[in-house]
Structure 1
């Protein structure tokens, strides 16, 4: 059975999700994209459903790939939850200087997406 990686990132980071999914699958990982449950534009009143679904997905994964290419509260919370639960977090910055909290929760910080995905081999 393939290992699973949760794709944390801003809601509108569609290109990141496509590239990360393809790269992970090339390495034999199953990418779990929480945006398959797309609540964009209709989150009000569904907060519990959204968060509980994301937490269940993270719990069912072997690692989290977190795109910290721009500030996003959801990505930060997902990375913290995974770190606190003992799930390795691989941080992708896209070249942006990493925030101290992102560094703290990360098993590895990479500016390049390909490097971040290849770091899955080390978890």
Structure 2
């Protein structure tokens, strides 16, 4: 048996059976401090520790969405950009093209600055 000194003492027993070649290892943990001292230390630590808080409910909601989606969180940003940015510009482009009765290449003649 080997005994290691420190906060906890581990006793390692190694038994080898020559016939079956089975090997078993067992660990025993012995505490060098009484249980009451450990509990009182945890109470003191928990009373002095302050926890961080979210700056607002929107931060919490967006963090939980990103956590739930995992590595596919770019899809949330993509859908938001698509619905708020790309889709309105696409509808505007089609509307101006319908109103001017011009194709995609001729619509640039609408404004001389767009000619280049």
More helix by share: 2
Same fold? TM cut 0.5: no
TM-score by length of 1: 0.18
Higher relative contact order (CA 8 A, sep 6+): 1
Larger Rg: 2
